[in-house]
Amino acid sequence: MENFKDKVVWITGASSGIGEALAIAFAREGAKLVLTARRKEELERVKLSTGLPDTSVLVLPMDVTDLEKAVPAAEQVIAQFGRIDIMVHNAGVSQRSYIKDTDLAVYKNLMEIDFFSTVALTKAVLPYMIKQKGGHFIVMSSVAGKIGTIMRSGYNAAKHALHGFYDSLRAEGYVDNIKVTTVCPGYIRTNISLNALNESGSKFGKMDSNQANGIPAEECARRILSAVKKDKKEIYIGGFKEVAAIYLKRFFPTLLFDQVRKNIPE
């Protein structure tokens, strides 16, 4: 099983939700952290929450959609710690709007945040992992990366794309000991629906009841660390209904499609 003691773990979307919970969980296991998100003040708060000394945490504010900053950011991490052992792609945004109403610009924005930003950072980090002959990517997909649902078409598409890209990376990186764990959360108790994009690209601003009653982010983080220790390739974290839906699609797709079209969001 993998030991996180003194491993350098870079987490995007680290200022709240699952990212914050992962930062605290990795810190408890003795990891060194790189914390990235847009809001520096929130990253500083998370840094304090980890209880780690300043020498073990690099606060690295960045808008991940500024793709040209990926390589300089990786260089800054290497200058600070000399290596990158685990890259956690957690930054992302969801969607709440019907296809017929959604501006094309919203779809482009969703792909920039949820897909292309992870590709840019992966390509920036990968050469260092190859040089050190090892590394682990933790990719936050979603149950939406397996199942297309109403009012989440762009989000679904971006998460589906992550699976294709990182399945390829897992295969290509095998010879250099590059590992990939793709995480598919269902309903986790975070602000993801509040921050989701509507048809014009503004914040949806409403808390989904399923989200409010979801699994705590801390429990999600605990399961992710357990899976990474065991080098799990793909994991599903959620309630019975979300996880069962993934298996329904695999074995009884027509039944799932009928259920999805009847499941009108609140």
Q: Which residues are catalytic?
A: 155
Which positions ≥6 away from 105 have C-beta within 8 Å? 201
Q: Which residues of 15-32 are buried (b: 16+ CB within 10 A; e: fewer)?
A: bbbbbbbbbbbbbeeebb
Sign of torsion over alpha carbons 121, 123, 124, 127: positive
Cα dihedral value 165, 169, 170, 172, nearest 10? 140
Residue 222 phi/psi, 5° resolution?
-60, -45
DSSP assignment letter at 13: S
> What is the spatial distance between Cα 166 and Cα 189, in angstroms, rounded to a whole number?
26
Q: Which of 12, 92, 97, 16 is nearest to 58 (CA)?
A: 12
186-215 per-residue burial string, b: 16 or more CB within 10 A, e: under 16: bbbbbebbeebbbbebeebeeebebbeebb
Element (H, E) at 165: helix 153-172
The radius of gyration of the chain from alpha carbons, rounded to an integer in Å, stands at: 18
- Identity of the amino acid at 31: A
